[in-house]
Amino acid sequence: MIDTGEVSAFRDLHTRLGDAVEAAVRGKRDVVDLVLVAMFAGGHVLLEDVPGTGKTTLARAVAGALGGISRRVQFTPDLLPSDVTGTSVYDPQTGQIRFRPGPVFANIVLADEINRAAAKTQSALLEVMEERTVTIDGVGHAVPDPFLVVATQNPIDLDGTYRLPEAQLDRFMIRTSIGYPSAEDELDVLRPGSGAGKIADVRTVTSPREVSSFGERLAQLHVADPILHYISALGTGTRTDDRLRLGTSTRGLRTLVRCAQVYAASKGRHFVVPQDVQDIADPVLAHRLVLTRESVLAGVTTSEVLADVLSRVPVPKPAAPSSTAP
Amino acid sequence: MLKYAWVCALLLVASLQLAQAWDGATVYFGLAALTGFLALSLTRLVPAGLAGLAVMVLAMTGGFFAAKGASPERDPAWVLLDTVPRLLTAARPAPATPELLVSGLLLIIGVSTATVLSVTKRGTALFVPALGVAVLYVSAALLTTGRADRYGLVALALVVLLSLGWVIIDRRGPVVPPAVLATALAALTLLTFVLPTNGFEPRKLVKPPVTNIAITNPLPQLASWAAQGDAELFRMRGPEVPVRLVTLSRYTGASWEAAATYGPLGVVDPPDLPIGGKFRDASADLRITGLQGEWLPGVGKPQAVSLSNAMVDPDSGSLVLAEGLRTGLSYTVRGVVETPADADLAEAQVPANATRYTALPRLPFTLAEYARQATVNTRTAYEKAVALEQVVRLNRRPDAEAPVGSSYARLETFLFGAEGESGAGAGTAEQFASAFAVLARAVGLPTRVVVGFQPVPEQDGERIVRAADATAWPEVYFSGWGWVPFDPVSGNDSGPSAASKREVLNRLASTTAKPTPTTLASVPPLVQPSAVRPDAAAPAEPGSFPLWVFSPVLVLLVLYVARTSRRLRLRAAGPVGAWNEVLDSLQLAGLRPRPSRTVPDVGRDWGDAGQRLAVLVDEAAFGPRPVRRDDSWQLARQVGKAVRHKASWWRRLVWAVDPRPLFRR
């Protein structure tokens, strides 16, 4: 069981990270928070947005604040799996075959325009994301901890791209978009001399070790039974909705619980409340839902369906104080 | 503590002012003014609303038993409801009997409770005392028609005390908006204009309660009184005026009947025909020494009687004592005696709408024709009356032994009977008065018959009235001058009006033939009038008080108690209970949130208090450990207030008793 002291320490860390990242990425605190949630929950983020909204800046700023290694892979159709994972090469000096790690051996990996690479390369990355090891020539090479992949995908200009299959999307813990900043923030960004976008200005406020230690502890955060019932009811809600061909999987719901724990802690709470679930349901679940053809043609989006489900399922009523925790 | 002394002084002054409407009620009212402090001490145990309710229920119960004790044979609930009309129809100042005190005491207890409880709250600490004192003051002014505070000294004292409160009471924090104060003051000011206390008579607004009394017609008793001769009936101190026993206004063709419904004396309900323009007050002390029955002798049209249980028929002025007269009963009667001058009557009209006093069901033709002939040359109503008085008297003799009765048949015998026939040309005052009344009614004069006693000479300051003095006389109503007595027994040879009557008769004698009995023997004898149905249905006896009148109050009370106990339960349940209280408020305001909305989401709508409460609620509901001390109830009350503020006025009206939260799941 995690106590309030630890939670407030985590909240401090989370706030520090957020503040540091915000020095470079202005006015997108909510997206920053989501990325951080994914990082602490041990998941990965898919940013779907048009070019020029700060996807790359965000990923690099997070890496900068973390103080770990960050690498960037620009996905192109001719990118090979080994370009991502690394490969064994012959070292003429030692006369031995040596593993040369690819760009995934970093705390933060920015996979830019992941949909431009061939399916084979995509799946190589997805495999690392899931397994956290790279197996080359029968030898497993563990990626560093924490390990956060921030993949970006451009929703327009889809010619010559390989859309991520739905099953693969499930591997991303969170899918979100950055969107354009507010007029005020945009002015701030535009003003010459502002620090916006300057990765060099991002202070390093923590260490990878500190982050990974918190990640394990946060899994202990208290989730009351009514909350689990509520999450389960949300899952059922998506599975029974007529507009969806595929509802959310049990893995999706598990992920939701995990994210809710981190999210609650980031708000300084040592327990999860229904509002946490509602707040992160869309980034966690929306990309796991598959619409029917009719709905696609009707222009419905999964986010809309999910919002309907959220407004349909009653939240757990505050009941008598829960009995003493086990 | 100073503020309690202040409110105590205010309440005492206002209550003692109200106490003047009663005779000797000062102590009770002073004590009642302090009951608010009982409620105050109760607030240590229960919420203020419940404490006030408890005191009021206690007071109502006390009133209930007082009413039950006052009239054991009647429904106490009815007696209790009846107290206000009784108070307004009682003598002034009202005697301090339990049933008359109850309404005043309940008013004071209510005002005292509300006032003292309000002083503990900042917002209402000045407003409610001012309002309560104003209510008491206005009540006192109305009940005494301004006599309690003739020079406005009490009002001045109250204003000074109230302005002291401005200094004493802590006015920080939420206070009643100035708009409310201004409106209340404006309303009170307006009230003083609309209800000028010196002239306004609230008693006019109350329909006095009436009682049905079936009393036998006392006319036939004249014969038995005549037979008793010197038997003493009562003694009297006062002016030499005829004493009236009962006035008979309805003639059925078979007999005269008295009114059957009576109300308490002190009623300002005017008679159906107004009192004449010239009158004087007459007051007499009477002591019953032998008279029996329920009729209470009086003088003139009674205005006041010293017996609190005497009742009166406002139209006729007949006094009744329901429990009957007893020897030794002493009382004072003050009445109005009409004193029109003869010259006034000469040209006086009679009212056209007084059909009640001209009704003659199935009048035989003989009588109608006799009356027509007797008044054939008369010009005015007064001349008609004088002529008839003379006609009835002429050739007829008073005979105490004559057969009794006042039916058409008896009157025909009395007027037209052949020589030797029993009762022909002879009768007691009953036949003389009845014959005059029937003939006068036949020519359209509003007439009634009075049973009473002749004026008797004074002996040693007392007038001893004996059975032989009993008599009956008719009265005719003249517009503007009232009821004027005529005396067909002794005629107009004597008496104050003798000269003017003789003048009238002399003038008529030259032109009028003496009326003779009609010879139309074939006229069908319409002489057996059946009993005439009462012309108006008597008001239903309110003996069985309908309990359903109280049932809405009871339902409201039950709902209030249920809601209050729910609140107490929620209050004890920590933040979750507090949140349920907020949800109750939202439901009452019609703002019930969708079930899919989370607590912080709802709380955000209601400001800082709502957000803070939401945090506490979430922790209590979903946290691993129970929340210990918290201020959730205060927050919930803040939110509740804000919610209530947003609700429409009609929702606010039923806020405390709306049962819907009881069924919320």
CATH number assigned to the domain comprising residue A270:
1.10.8.80
A49 and A94 both lie in a single domain: yes
User: What chain A residue is nearest to B570 in terms of C-alpha separation?
Assistant: A320
A193 found inside a domain: no
* Chain A neighbors of B601, CB-CB under 8 A: 275, 278
**Alpha helix segments (H runs only) across B47-91:** 48-70, 76-81, 83-89
Give B538's contacts (C-beta < 8 A, 6+ positions apart). Answer: B212, B260, B261
Q: What angle separates helix B127-143 from helix B2-19, to the nearest 10 degrees?
A: 10
Interface mutation vs chain B, best among A261, A322, A323, A324, most B CBs within 10 Å: A322
B467 CA to centre of own chain: 35
pLDDT band at A86 (very low <50, low <70, confident <90, very high): confident
Taking residue B493's Cβ as centre, other Cβ atoms within 10 Å add up to 10
Q: Which two tokens stand for residue B332?
A: 């004072």
A272 found inside a domain: yes
ipTM score for this prediction: 0.82
Q: Which two tokens stand for residue B501?
A: 């009557």
Q: What DSSP assignment string belongs to B158-202?
A: HHHHHHHHHHHS---S----HHHHHHHHHHHHHHHHHS-TTT--G
Handedness of CA B593, B599, B604, B608 (dihedral sign): positive
A209 and A289 both lie in a single domain: no
What pLDDT does A235 receive? 93
Q: Where is mean pLDDT largest: A234-238, B59-63, B478-482, B494-498?
A: A234-238
Closest partner CB to B623 (pick from A271, A275, A320): A271
Cβ contacts below 8 Å, chain A against chain B, sum to: 81
A321 found inside a domain: no
Q: How far apart are CA B394 and CA B388, in angstroms?
A: 10
Taking residue A201's Cβ as centre, other Cβ atoms within 10 Å add up to 13
A207 and A253 both lie in a single domain: no
DSSP, res B205: G
Closest listed residue to residue B474, CA positions, set B386, B367, B414: B386
The overall average pLDDT reported for chain B is 79
A174 and A275 both lie in a single domain: no
A52 and A88 both lie in a single domain: yes
Q: How far apart are CA B618 and CA B609, in angstroms?
A: 14
User: What chain B residue is nearest to A319 in terms of C-alpha separation?
Assistant: B621
Q: What are phi and psi of B440, to 5 degrees?
A: -65, -40
A323 found inside a domain: no
A279 and A149 both lie in a single domain: no
pLDDT band at B624 (very low <50, low <70, confident <90, very high): confident
Q: What angle separates helix B381-393 from helix B429-442, to the nearest 10 degrees?
A: 140
User: Cβ of A275 and B600 within 8 Å?
Assistant: yes
- Which structural domain range is residue A260 located in? 221-316
What pLDDT does A161 receive? 76
Residue A320 touches chain B, beta carbons under 8 Å: yes
User: Cβ of B625 and A314 within 8 Å?
Assistant: no
Q: What are the pLDDT digits (tens) for B216-272?
A: 677 777 878 888 878 888 888 888 888 888 888 888 888 888 876 777 765 556 677
Closest partner CB to B620 (pick from A275, A315, A321): A321
Closest partner CB to A314 (pick from B580, B595, B621): B595
A11, with CB counted inside 10 A (0-12, 13-18, 19+), is middle
Q: What is the CATH number of the domain that holds A6?
A: 3.40.50.300
B361: amino acid identity, one letter: P
CA angle B553/B554/B559 to nearest 5° reads 100
A228 and A260 both lie in a single domain: yes
A140 and A124 both lie in a single domain: yes
Taking residue A106's Cβ as centre, other Cβ atoms within 10 Å add up to 21
Give B241's contacts (C-beta < 8 A, 6+ positions apart). Answer: B282, B284, B299, B300, B337, B455
* Chain B neighbors of A316, CB-CB under 8 A: 621-622
Give B46's contacts (C-beta < 8 A, 6+ positions apart). Answer: B54
DSSP, res B664: -
Q: How far apart are CA A167 and CA B105, in angstroms?
A: 83
**Alpha helix segments (H runs only) across A23-165:** 29-40, 55-66, 81-85, 119-131
| Strand partners for B256 | B251
Residue A269 touches chain B, beta carbons under 8 Å: yes
Closest partner CB to B601 (pick from A269, A275, A316): A275
Q: What DSSP assignment string belongs to B386-417?
A: HHHHHHHHTT-EE-TTSPP--SHHHHHHHHHP
A187 found inside a domain: no
Q: Which two tokens stand for residue B434?
A: 């009845």
Straight-line distance from the first to the last Cα atom of chain A, in angstroms, rounded to the nearest whole number = 9
Q: How far apart are CA B79 and CA A111, in angstroms?
A: 92
B426 CA to centre of own chain: 45
pLDDT of A140 above 60: yes
| Strand partners for B497 | none
Q: How far apart are CA B507 and CA B501, in angstroms?
A: 10
A245 and A203 both lie in a single domain: no
Closest listed residue to residue A33, CA positions, set A265, A200, A202: A265
| Strand partners for B22 | B94
What is the model's pTM?
A: 0.51
Which region among B107-121, B494-508, B641-655 has the lowest average model confidence (pLDDT)? B494-508
User: Cβ of A320 and B579 within 8 Å?
Assistant: no
pLDDT of B537 above 60: no
Give B598's contacts (C-beta < 8 A, 6+ positions apart). Answer: A273, A274, A275, A278, A315
Q: What are the pLDDT digits (tens) for B361-415?
A: 888 888 888 888 888 878 888 888 888 888 888 878 888 788 888 888 888 888 8
Distance from the B658 Cα atom to the nearest Cα atom in chain A, whole angstroms: 23
User: Cβ of B623 and A319 within 8 Å?
Assistant: no
A301 and A162 both lie in a single domain: no
Which region among A46-50, A292-296, B182-186, B375-379 has the lowest average model confidence (pLDDT)? B182-186
DSSP, res B207: P
User: Cβ of A273 and B574 within 8 Å?
Assistant: no
* Chain B neighbors of A275, CB-CB under 8 A: 598-601, 618
**Total domains present in chain A:** 2
DSSP, res B252: -
Residue B527, CA distances (Å) to B291, B408, B428 in order: 34, 6, 21
A191 found inside a domain: no
A143 found inside a domain: yes
* Chain A neighbors of B620, CB-CB under 8 A: 318, 321
A85 CA to centre of own chain: 20
Q: What are the pLDDT digits (tens) for A205-224?
A: 888 888 888 878 888 888 99
Distance from the A250 Cα atom to the nearest Cα atom in chain B, whole angstroms: 22
The beta strand positions in chain A, using DSSP E, are: 45-48, 70-74, 86-91, 96-101, 108-112, 133-136, 139-142, 148-153, 174-176, 244-246, 290-291
B283 CA to centre of own chain: 24
Distance from the B601 Cα atom to the nearest Cα atom in chain A, whole angstroms: 8
Q: What are phi and psi of A234, to 5 degrees?
A: -60, -45
Cis check: omega of the bond before A146, within 30 degrees of 0: yes
Q: What angle separates helix A4-22 from helix A208-218, to the nearest 10 degrees?
A: 130
Distance from the B621 Cα atom to the nearest Cα atom in chain A, whole angstroms: 5
User: What chain B residue is nearest to A224 in terms of C-alpha separation?
Assistant: B622
User: Cβ of A226 and B622 within 8 Å?
Assistant: yes
